Amino acid sequence: MYPYKTLFDFTKSVFERIGLKEEEARQAADILMRAELRNISTHGLMRLPEYINLWKNRRITITPDYRVVHQTPSTALVDGGKGLGLVTAPKAMRLAIEKAKTAGTGWVAVRNSYHYGIAGYYAMMALKEDMIGISMTNANPLVAPTFGLHGMLGTNPIAVAIPTHRQPPFVADFATAPIARGKLDVMEEKGKTPPEGLLQDETGMPTTNPGILKRNGALLTLGGSLQTGGHKGFCLTAVVDILSAVLPGANFGPMVVPTLGYVKDKTGSEDKGIGHFFGAIRIDAFQTAEDFKAYMDSWIEAFRNAETIPGQEKVIIPGDPEREAEKINMEKGIALSVNTLYKLKRISEELEIPFI
């Protein structure tokens, strides 16, 4: 178990060493560490080498020309200037929140950015303003559209954070694919087998091989086959791709230039990057925040107290497991996998930053 502060300080130092300003490094470290605290380790420190590789390969710029290209009272188009997503995305979400203060809602589409960590981080930024926060992004093409042979869409997450009064906030933060790539990696490492109906091999046949993405296989969409609603999952993942990438003019779906070695080179342009879409909705643009938050409490209570199927204790409210993990991990420290530990030690040696 590693104390939060030790890991935070190390991560911040890494980002400072590659040239980020202190405040930017703090912001970037906060996003990765928030993932660790919330037990979303697939988006935590194990990703640090990916960010460093983007920098080494000059796919990102440390001093980007961040520009608001166009705006209206409730919208803005941001060009991230090839900057690190972890620095660009919080700025863009803050802009959405500022817009919402005067226009009621704020919507910011970002192009020319890179992997931004957990979607939920940005959605949750809206909570303290009594706003609903929305965040989505496109990503490496790993998901096949219904009937498609190849991965053409990212696991494109959506996060929605909703303020409450007595109850803790509702925070949904989910990849729109049925299972995360990181989880498949862990299954492969441990020799485990994912359920049927989630993956296909390079010929389009169903498979349960968790390493299939590295062998030109693909994830199916949420819902699986057409018979079980997979085309609805395709619609959903497609909408995230269009809002995040087509709307701002980033690389969409199959054009995304991959950050994963095993994804075949795609046709996208290096100066379009990937895209994000952020929203902030002021509660009192509809009803008083007080009334809404009390009503939202009763929504949560209805589901929290719902009768369950045999063998299950409760209906899980989106955000509950992550918030509980955050509390425990902050107190007791964070567990790192052998693999992540090894990666961090290599970074420590390479960048000459003492680790622990």
Residues in 72-91 that interact with its own copies by CB under 8 A: 72-75, 77
Q: Which amino acid appears at position 327 of this protein?
A: K
Minimum distance of its own copies from residue 61's CB (angstroms): 22
245, 274 contact by CB (below 8 A): yes
Any contact of residue 64 with its own copies (CB under 8 A)? no
Minimum distance of its own copies from residue 297's CB (angstroms): 10
Minimum distance of its own copies from residue 4's CB (angstroms): 27
Q: Which is nearer to its own copies, 29 or 144 (CB)?
A: 144
DSSP symbol at 62? S
Minimum distance of its own copies from residue 33's CB (angstroms): 24
Any contact of residue 208 with its own copies (CB under 8 A)? no
Q: Which is nearer to its own copies, 83 or 194 (CB)?
A: 194
Helix or strand (DSSP H, E) at 346: helix 338-351
Pairing of strands 157-162, 131-137: antiparallel
The span from the CA of 121 to the CA of 124, in Å, is 5
Residues in 266-305 that interact with its own copies by CB under 8 A: 281-283, 285-287, 291-292, 295-296, 299, 302-303
Alpha-carbon distance values, 176 to 55, 88, 271 (Å): 28, 23, 26
Any contact of residue 316 with its own copies (CB under 8 A)? yes
The span from the CA of 10 to the CA of 102, in Å, is 39
Pairing of strands 170-175, 199-200: unpaired
DSSP symbol at 113? E
Residues in 145-204 that interact with its own copies by CB under 8 A: 145-150, 152, 158, 160, 162, 170, 172, 174-179, 195, 197-198, 200, 203-204
* Residue selected from 261, 312, 331, 338 as contacting its own copies according to rule CB under 8 A: 312
DSSP symbol at 63? S
* Residue selected from 117, 154, 223, 273 as contacting its own copies according to rule CB under 8 A: 223
